[in-house]
Amino acid sequence: MKKIDLMKKQQDMLKDQICRNLDLLIGSIVRSPAMMYHSLTTKVGGKTVTRYVRKGLVPKVKKMTDRNKRVRTLIQKLSNVNWELLKQESE
């Protein structure tokens, strides 16, 4: 296979991985020693917002915030592949 074909295949694979991980939450789940509960903190309109997370939802919320980190990494990789494809197509 040509390099450009391999890169297009990688591009499609990254797009598919991104689509499969869109069930996400932006923010961080935290529990300070002084608090008896978990909370999700995120930025909204330039301000930090804290939301209470029920104990039973903590594992799901952690999984969803991890997906957000994964999607950001995948988008960075996709951007790099797209850049390389643009360079290859312009030659």
Q: Which residues in the chain come in under a pLDDT of 70?
A: none
Task: Give 41-62 pLDDT, tens digit per residue.
Answer: 999 999 999 999 998 999 999 9
Q: How far apart are CA 59 and CA 67, in angstroms?
A: 12
Model pTM score: 0.84
- CA distances, 59 to each of 13, 55, 62 (Å): 28, 8, 5
Residue 29 CB neighbour total at 10 angstroms: 19
